[in-house]
Chains A and B, each alone.
Chain A
Amino acid sequence: EDQVTQSPEALRLQEGESSSLNCSYTVSGLRGLFWYRQDPGKGPEFLFTLYSAGEEKEKERLKATLTKKESFLHITAPKPEDSATYLCAVQAVGGANSKLTFGKGITLSVRP
């Protein structure tokens, strides 16, 4: 059974204080690993897809990296508007569907 574990559960940062969010996964075969951002009362917003170990993707202050067992979401010099819950999800190879298995998410608070 596919599993995704995210840590820490919650993270409080000072504005400008860089950090990393961790996503560990177990999957029979990885088709893709996805990062989403979710604001309160909203649906998840797509950030990145990573397909193979060693791959990296960047968007503004965010950089996502992937190894064979985990992914990191690095946040450089965060701002208060980066406060949100960050969700990691995996998609397994095989099958005719695109089911995503999500972790519980990491709630990030950035203080001004």
Chain B
Amino acid sequence: DAGVTQSPTHLIKTRGQHVTLRCSPISGHKSVSWYQQVLGQGPQFIFQYYEKEERGRGNFPDRFSARQFPNYSSELNVNALLLGDSALYLCASSLGSGGDQPQHFGDGTRLSIL
């Protein structure tokens, strides 16, 4: 069975640009969460979507936005990129919205800002 898939795997942008990252969850999973992982740190929660509705937002500026589509795939958008946005962006999916099922992660998109 396919796991969580993310695209692209690597991306290079310059300051001020915007970026869209994509995620396809495991088949049957309805919840998608996004995390940012800076080198040497653990992942930090950005958003969770369940059944196309936002269920949680972490401490990130409004430059970050996301959405979930009817097929449960998701996009993360970041506007006005800053050097500090350079990180590994991880998508995780789970069956439900609560904590009864573990979240399964993709291999991420490595975003570099020049």
Q: Does B74 contact A (CB under 8 A)?
A: no
Cross-chain pair count, CB within 8 angstroms: 72
Interface residues on A, range: 20 to 34
Shortest beta-carbon distance from A24 to chain B in Å: 14
Interface residues on B, range: 20 to 34
- Contact indicator B102/A97 (Cβ below 8 Å): no
Cα distance, A102 to B97, chains bound together (Å): 18
Known: A97-B55, A97-B97. A45 touches B102 (CB 8 A): no
Cα distance, A41 to B103, chains bound together (Å): 18
Q: Does A78 contact B (CB under 8 A)?
A: no
Q: Contacts of A103 on B, CB cut-off 8 Å?
A: 42
Q: Does B86 contact A (CB under 8 A)?
A: no
- Contact indicator B41/A100 (Cβ below 8 Å): no
Q: Does B104 contact A (CB under 8 A)?
A: yes
